[in-house]
Amino acid sequence: MASSAPAFRLFGFPVHVRVGFLLFMVIVVALNGPEFGIALAIFMAVFTLLHELGHAFAARRTGAEAEIALDFMAGYAAFTPTRPLRKLERIGISFAGPATQIIAGTLVYFAVGGRGWRPEHDALQVGAWWAGPVIGLFNLIPILPFDGGNILQVAIEAITPRHARRIMYGVTIGVCGGAIAWMMIDPTLQPLVIFAAIPLITVAQMISADRAQSQRTDARAQLARAEAMAWATDTVDFPHGTVPSPWYRAWQQLRSGNPHMARDLILADLADTNPVSWCPPDAAPRAALEQLAELLPRPLPPGRSFSSYVLSDVLLRVGEVHTAGTVAAEAYGTYRSPMLAVHVARAAAAMDDRSTAFAWLSTAARDAHPSALRAAIDNAPEFAALRHDPALAAAISN
């Protein structure tokens, strides 16, 4: 979702207008001259917005929250689902944009005097024709990042869900590569090479982003395994650039007869402002965490977001639910992290305060990714008695 303030709202959807979008409209006028360029630019702006509204309305029908961004050469309708979407719903959202553009563009084309599938030498007809049905149909070409590519990817997922994305990368590279070769051979098509190259560039960026995300996921998994191994066997073998959690290091000190050093390690981490290079002590035995929690002063001092999140989780695990809620609420007041709000809700649920729990879950839902929020709720034992309460679904779908 876009983070800047929207330029305006339309049918309840925030609409962000980037400088690149305005620049592209100027380029359209400059390349086509005032006679045809002005009409074409206006129609492109209007039909791009209608296209994204089609996506946004379709997303809203599934319960998702959507907003629109208009940028250089393209528009985007970002939406956040409140539940897992069925494949047909995802296809419907992708198809709704170009369908809206094609239908609206065709109607406008005939309204301004169009009389067939080839516009006359009239600025309004040419503008409506190209900005409406032509670009709408172009967007249904089954390559990424076009809507047609997204539709094909969902279809491939029905057969091979794990490999659908990579297959679509290959399809896009193959189609665009072939198109570029054809255009380079035909001198009349050479000016269009840039349009075939744009999807290639976009897919290259997507592949790079996927690779980086995969590397981050693998790194987190390796770190979690190393932390679990340390607690289970006292084997301290961590990936380069990472360290055991301060809770494990504190446990080492406590077992060595240094309770003050153990306490100071945890408190020092709360005050630390350096990037975090450790993962939570999820594999720690409850008895060990209870002994460490007893060492900490009350009231607990404020700390950075991640460390406060881990501290409140530890306190929840050892049964200090009121203190856990206080730590998480104070940290949320500073950092506005939705997972801290979830911890306050967990504490309230543990104290059987349902109204407070639902209120904090509603707060978390404003900023949390739906799948992350759902996973946090499903994995929290404090919510066991609330999972079938209709108020829970209402709280996280605000």
16-36: pLDDT as tens digits: 999 999 999 999 999 999 999
Which pLDDT band holds residue 121 (cuts at 50, 70, 90)? confident
pLDDT of amino acid 3 = 54
With a cut of 90, say whether residue 2 has pLDDT above it.
no
Residue 206 φ/ψ, nearest 5 degrees? -65, -40
Tell me which of 368 and 297 has the higher pLDDT. 297
Give the H or E element holding residue 78. strand 74-80
The answer to whether 184 touches 196, Cβ cutoff 8 Å, is no
- What's the chain's average pLDDT? 94
Global model pTM greater than 0.75: yes
How many Cα atoms occupy the beta-carbon half-sphere of 243 within 13 Å? Answer: 10
What's the pLDDT at 11?
97
Residues of the chain above pLDDT 70, percent: 99
Local confidence band at 398 (pLDDT 50, 70, 90 cut-offs): low
Mean predicted confidence (pLDDT) in 365-379: 89
Contact criterion met (CB below 8 Å) for 366 and 336 = no
pLDDT at 357 (0 to 100): 97
Mean pLDDT in residue range 301-328:
98
